[in-house]
Structure 1
Amino acid sequence: MSYPHAPGDRATSGRGPSIDRVFDVEDGAPYETQRTVQRYLSQETRHNLLQVILGHPRHLVSVTEFDYYVPKSRSTISEQLADLADHEIVAKYRHEPNADRRDVPADFWSLTAFGVELLEEYNYLRGQPIMRAAHDATHKTETVQRHEDAPRPPLPEAVGEALEYDEPDRDDPPVETSIAELREETFYADAAPADPAVLNEDGDGDRTLDELF
């Protein structure tokens, strides 16, 4: 599965997904396009589903796994997966050898080539190591672990390569990181400053957080 246009491409030849077509936005309105895509990706359930896919060791997730990690009803999860699929961001991948087994799933959800390009453009892939660490640290029931260990189909080459990153060697001792180092390395825009006093550097006297909003 491959798509000839990257998400930022405004081509409208119809040969593959483009942001303009998928999100029904007008070419030549970049700010409105960005706002539309950001609003769509940040919807709580969709955002959580994408984070689960990014953090999963195989990036192929069963509905049972989604149901365990995302605090929403299974019907809501299925509805939002279908919506993401309608936007060509995710797709269902089937592993036919599992179909005759009752203890493991045959259907899995993951990103499309268009989906990984879109998430890369909107900086979602930068958080992948963090999501993987959170996934590994999460307690899993026997059923969820069995689903995680189940055989899966291969991802399309473009998807698999885009989601690869240098994972830490599990045999290496854990690296101790100080709070100061974490603050320097974080890329979250809303990270709190190490010294709260800097919030008042340009103000006259003390200001409370409430006054800032």
Structure 2
Amino acid sequence: MAERDPGDWVWCCCILIFTSGLTALCMWLSLLTSYPTCSIEQFYVPALNATANSADNRTIFFRLLLANRMKDKGVRYSNISLTFLYGGKSSASVVANHTVKGFYQGYKKKANRAELVQATGVPWEEAVTAVSGGSTVNFGVRLGTRVKFKIVFWYTKWHNLAMVGDVEVGGGGQKVGKKGIKLTSGAPDRGWRWARFSPTVFSVVFAILMC
């Protein structure tokens, strides 16, 4: 039986190394996740609209936009807690609390949640005087929830998500500007991150690669 050319072994090793590297790259990319983006697209306080004769309407209407930027991973939200503050996101003056029911969001999908919440504790006379005189008032929004990412058939562990933002309200009781107010974490942007699975999932993936 003829001996195999050493060059063939080198070639086989190169193919094996290349294949292993490509597999590792694919696994690395598949385990990268990113948090969804959250923004306040609409914000209306009827009591601050002097022309609508709605001074007794002490509610806040808002539309929250949640966007999953990932092309191949879904996002599962737990219940989303929203806190509204008069004076901005750093204020201690909480005027309303609201909960949006959790849901699943598919790849590259956006979800709108338009809700109405009752506000208490707003210094209405002060706020009306400010917007009537051409000034604006700030309402802070704090969002808190937990998310986990769906990769193929598996879910990652839950991750905490806390975001804040300021909404500037002017005459007419409407949010100033047409552009949505993007909520931020208030900390350095972590951007993309690793998904973490249970040891069982890693064992299954390893077994598949070894077959």
The reply to whether TM is greater than 0.5 is no
Name the structure where helix makes up a greater proportion of residues.
1
Give the number of the structure whose alpha-carbon radius of gyration is greater: 2
TM-score (norm 2): 0.23
**Higher-RCO chain (CA-CA 8 Å, sequence separation at least 6):** 2
